[in-house]
Amino acid sequence: MGNADEFRQYAEECRRLAQKAAQKDNAALLEIAAAWITVAEEAERNEQRAAED
């Protein structure tokens, strides 16, 4: 699950940056974090499918 873990780290970094960012940038960073989580979940599904084959 290397890729999924990496994507989750990116999401966490976006959340960390959002805490320190100006209000106008906060929502965008949280949206990016959510997108990274979606990508991580997709990577996990793909890795699971590959392991099943």
What is the reported pLDDT for 46? 93
Instruction: Give how many domains the chain has, as a whole number.
Output: 1
Residues 27-46, mean pLDDT to the nearest whole number: 97
- Whether 44 and 1 have beta carbons less than 8 Å apart is answered as yes
pTM listed for this prediction: 0.87
Domain range spanning residue 25? 2-52
- Whether 22 and 36 have beta carbons less than 8 Å apart is answered as no
Task: Give the C-alpha separation, 38 to 29, whole Å.
Answer: 14
Percent of the chain with pLDDT over 70: 98
Instruction: List, in order, residues 6 or more apart from 14 with CB less than 8 Å away.
Output: 29, 30, 32, 33, 36
Instruction: List, in order, residues 6 or more apart from 12 with CB less than 8 Å away.
Output: 33
